[in-house]
Structure 1
Amino acid sequence: MKNVLVTGASRGIGRAIATAFAADGYRVAVHYASSRPDAAATLDALPGDGHVLVSGDLADPQQARAIAETAADRLGVVGTLVNNAAVAPSAANIHRVADASYDEWQAAWRETIDVNLLGASNITYCVARALIASGEPGTIVNVGSRGAFKGEPDYPAYGASKAALHAFGQSMAIALAPHAIGVASVAPGFVSTERQADKLGGAHGDAIRDQSPFGRVGTPEEVAAAVLFLASPGAQWASGSILDLNGASYLRS
């Protein structure tokens, strides 16, 4: 059953993941929250036929359910879910504990947790329940972050949300294994998406690249290749794993 729902697929890592699945013969539900033009560009560039757009705000539990239901209505049972959508670190949501006001602190945590953790957990629930009802096997892959282990002092909500997403994935791996549903996560380091272009081209670009002994940052396509593998039937025994994708820039014991 080669139907996949990729959340946050309008650009960057999500677009690369959608493209990799489409190239492998999947029909893809391209989810976006607000940027329909970017999502439409992703959809138009996908190889193959039968792909669809699905919109909705994952921070809203009812919209999260609607996203899963719409994808299933348009594709059939969703056999693979990729939880990629996230509130990512930016100048707009920096919240250093020594600098942020209490209101800014609260806003950053609520916005981040609502999407990165609760949104992912809600859509996972909906897709998993439909898979269980169908009796078909399936896979769920969570896109976490190196920051869950390395720490994010300027964006602690982001680091915490990704650590929680990893833990959630491991809980689901145990809970869903009896239903032949595998669950795994990837933990990318710095990736050269459109959003990071200014950083990589700026004064600190070399320092960012030098975090890895390879002297570069990762690409969206490298993340997508790992996600595609973890979603494959041959990777079922990797269920419960968290795959580091950081070019040896951070090694955890």
Structure 2
Amino acid sequence: MADQEFLQDQPHRAVVRVGDTVRRPALPWTPTVHELLRHLESVGFEAAPRALGIDEQGREVLTYLEGDSGGDGWDRVADEAGLVAMARLLRDYHQAVAGFRPTAEAGWATHPGPVAAGELVCHGDFGPWNLVWHGTRPVGILDWDLAWPAEPLHDVAYALEYVTPFRDDAECLRWLRYPSPPERRRRMELFADAYGLTSIDGLVDKVIEQQEVVLDRARRLAAQGVQPQLSWLASGALDEVAARIRWSRDHRHLIQEP
């Protein structure tokens, strides 16, 4: 096998690049995720990796997407051009997946059932760090492990938590690479408009609702012994998530009209 380059070297989840492929530990729901990726390939959606199967070590094999990702995504989306482009990519993904109904029996992360009326298969983890960037243009979407059926607004609200962002000014300046305190309402309006929404009415509530749903999902995965959620529980990281939900409730006035 060609030389391996570690992209993520953690005890529970070593992710490596081998040539033009990425190898990652398979999960119980990987067959359903691969069916999703094959659907995206069949409809010509170019911003998702291609599923190439399972290797001799039991790892899923995906095509490698060239570009910047991870921490590099934060300053790209602080730029309004990156913010708008991210929203348009999410819109394009939802259009590509609108008619997809999986047949695999493996289910999804903490969600065994089919896609219900009014739902589609959301990415489930659509944050700046999981995009591949060329400048301020996102060209790829990574880490599909948490894809699951939900209303499209779940993905929108998940993204808005991070790109509005629902964080205090100090964190925005210190960690999220904003050059000045963000104009949160304007950023929410820009994202919503680029995605195709006509109003931001109710979106603050949707963001808080998805925060609660995602925290519940992480707790359930931790209870099943799934990593990295189990380590998040042990380290107290999930308590920090609960604190962020309280911040969102207490500071909704930063975004909503008085």
Q: TM-score, normalised by structure 2?
A: 0.30
Structure of higher RCO (CA pairs closer than 8 Å, 6+ residues apart): 1
Higher helix share: 1
